[in-house]
Amino acid sequence: MRRFVLAATLVIAACSPEKVPDPQPSTAASAAAPVPADAPVILAFGDSLYAGYQLNPGEGYPPRLEAALNARGVPAKVVNAGVSGDTTAAALQRLQFTLDNQPIKPTLALVGLGGNDMLRGLPPSETRANLDAILTEFDKREIPVVLTGMLAAPNLGADYQKQFNPIWPDLAKKHKAGLVPFFLAPVLGNKALMLEDNVHPNADGVDRIVAATKDQVAEALKAAVAE
């Protein structure tokens, strides 16, 4: 855990987050937006950043994203398939079971994995191979994907960063997936938007990430529905 916090703290020190406007509409307004019964399903398949680590029900990324999409007139039901602590290897092992047990086939998937691989110092080649296999499974099932990317902590060294950081743009290109280059860009470096661990966003931080990503997700969902 100490290594986890150290690495994350170094990432925070090294990154200057983009300026992201305050979420609009307000959280309360977004939460009140109804979800149509026939809304297309978005599967959020990832780790603790999707699972809503240490947040109250409804404060994590999937429910806040769902509320924001419906509030702006984009019908969507976002299914939270995030598991805290998941590496890409663990996620790959549960992927088929997760997909086979969805009551409704997802129209779109969000894939957010790799941070735990990096924080454990696992070989980037393994991360790449596992993510490639995950995306291949989505391809086989004809489920479009938006990847939410990760960056390596500076303390792991330039060689590790050189191998790790290109994984997401490379695989997005290979699998014709959408790409959010760095999922945590809107919050890192701002303690007011992070939990005390300086690793995970708090509820306000989640709103910032939703504000930064909802337009891209909405466009990907519209394209998937139109196919």
Active-site annotation holder among 125, 159, 170, 197: 197
Determine which one of 48, 86, 175, 207 is catalytic.
48
| Catalytic residue check, 200 | yes
Q: Where are the alpha helices (DSSP H) in the chain?
A: 2-14, 27-32, 48-51, 61-71, 88-100, 115-119, 124-140, 158-164, 167-175, 203-226
Distance from C-alpha of 92 to C-alpha of 111, rounded to nearest angstrom: 11
Active site residue 84: no
From the list 30, 47, 175, 200, the catalytic residue is: 200
Decide: 44 and 78 in contact? Cβ < 8 Å: yes
Cβ count near 199 (within 10 Å): 23
C-alpha gyration radius of the chain: 17
Residue 175 annotated among the catalytic residues of the structure: no
Say how far apart CA 87 and CA 127 lie, in whole Å: 8
- Provide the annotated active-site residues: 48, 197, 200
